[in-house]
Amino acid sequence: MSYATNDKLVLLGAAGAIGSNMAQAALTLGLTPNLCLYDPFEKGLQGAAEEIYHCSFPDANVTWTTDIKEALTGASYLISSGGAPRKEGMTREDLLKGNCEIAAQLGKDIKAFCPDLKFGAVIFNPADITGLTVLVHSGLAPSKIGTLAALDSTRLQTALAQHFGVAQSKVTGCRTYGGHGEQMAPFASTASVDGKPLASLIGTDALTADQWAAIQQHVRQGGKKIIELRGRSSFQSPSHQSLLMVKAVMDGQGYGWPVGCYVSAPDQGFDQIMMAMETTLTREGVSWAMPEGTPEELAELKASYQHLTKLRDEVVAMGVLPPLDQWKTVNPNL
């Protein structure tokens, strides 16, 4: 079996549904044979590892540990799903304090045990703020940490495909930017359905304005809907897309969806935040560009940013993040 790299990939939270699903998929997708599973819950972690062994992946070197130093030492890549999961009736923001404390410790552990990390994906919610917290405390360059943002765009693609009765692959250019939460900014101007610009279809009999508004709301509530239907938060889709993000950095073959990334561009009205923008993943990590959209779409993007800054400032007030003017002292790469 061929793999994209032989570098060590660490999956944090590997005893959970996302992490254990990710362990199997990482080997199925051929990321690396050298996989380390970490979780503080030893019994569940050992069970997850045993299941992977029973899959009998060729050439796989799968280890597991409850020791974070052992897990991170020598790691080139990591994916962390190791926060508290969202439950029915909760928003992503309800997880803020506890998960940001976990994120701060993860950042410090990265700095201590794998300061040469090539790329880390942070996917536990609220992902924009937990990812930001990891980055600040890790000392890494901004290109080395990204967050999972793709599901908002894939949910938009799904909803449009279902509405128009076409294959999902016929819906292209779907983009939601800003925060991975209900204040996200879905863009219509970037998308096409079976070759027709989505913007030209909105307001017609094919897609009335009310139907488009309902689709946007459906996308914003996509994660909540999964919890209502399955009794637990998503795990297959975040597992898959997170691995594709990391694989894109491993093999340099690109990634087709937005990534949450560090944005510090005060001249463009966005500063010291992590959010989904138009992004590129290469062997060097994640880079971003300002999305192109209508004035209304860009106003939604700005509103999403402002929501995120309020959450960021709450975490600063908690003492989990340092004051903004001290970030460069904590992380000279910012």
Q: For 127-160, what is each residue's pLDDT tens digit?
A: 999 999 999 999 999 999 999 999 999 999 999 9
**Residue 297: pLDDT over 60:** yes
What secondary structure letter does DSSP report for 327? Answer: H
**Residue 11: pLDDT over 80:** yes
For residues 15 and 64, the answer to whether their CB atoms sit within 8 Å is no
First to last CA, the chain: 39
Average model confidence (pLDDT) across the chain:
96
**The predicted structure's pLDDT at residue 91:** 62
> What distance in Å separates the CA atoms of residue 262 and residue 142, rounded to the nearest whole number?
6
Residues of the chain with CATH 3.90.110.10: 150-334
Give percent above pLDDT 70 in the chain: 97
**The predicted structure's pLDDT at residue 212:** 98
Joined together, the tokens standing for residue 264 give: 């510090």
> What distance in Å separates the CA atoms of residue 295 and residue 331, rounded to the nearest whole number?
35
Average the pLDDT over 52-77 and give the result.
98
The more confidently predicted of residues 69 and 226 is 69
- Name the H helices within 114-177: 127-138, 150-164
**The predicted structure's pLDDT at residue 90:** 59
**Residue 188: pLDDT over 80:** yes
Give percent above pLDDT 90 in the chain: 90
List, in sequence order, every residue forming a beta bridge with 259; answer none if it has no partner. Answer: 148, 277
For residues 29 and 247, the answer to whether their CB atoms sit within 8 Å is yes
**The predicted structure's pLDDT at residue 181:** 84
**The predicted structure's pLDDT at residue 284:** 98
Domain 9-149 grouped into CATH 3.10.20.30: no
Angle between helices 209-220 and 222-230 in degrees, nearest 10: 60
Residues of the chain with CATH 3.40.50.720: 9-149
Q: For 77-118, what is each residue's pLDDT tens digit?
A: 999 998 766 566 656 567 888 999 999 999 999 999 999 999
Convert 7-23 to b/e letters by CB count within 10 Å (16 or more is b): ebbbbbbbbbbbbbbbb
**The predicted structure's pLDDT at residue 85:** 64
Q: Which CATH number fits domain 150-334: 1.25.40.10, 3.40.640.10, 3.30.530.20, 3.90.110.10?
A: 3.90.110.10
Joined together, the tokens standing for residue 25 give: 């998929």
The more confidently predicted of residues 84 and 314 is 314
> What distance in Å separates the CA atoms of residue 239 and residue 25, rounded to the nearest whole number?
8
Using 50, 70 and 90 to split pLDDT, how confident is the model at 232? confident
Q: Is 94 exposed, middle or buried (0-12, 13-18, 19+ CB in 10 A)?
A: middle
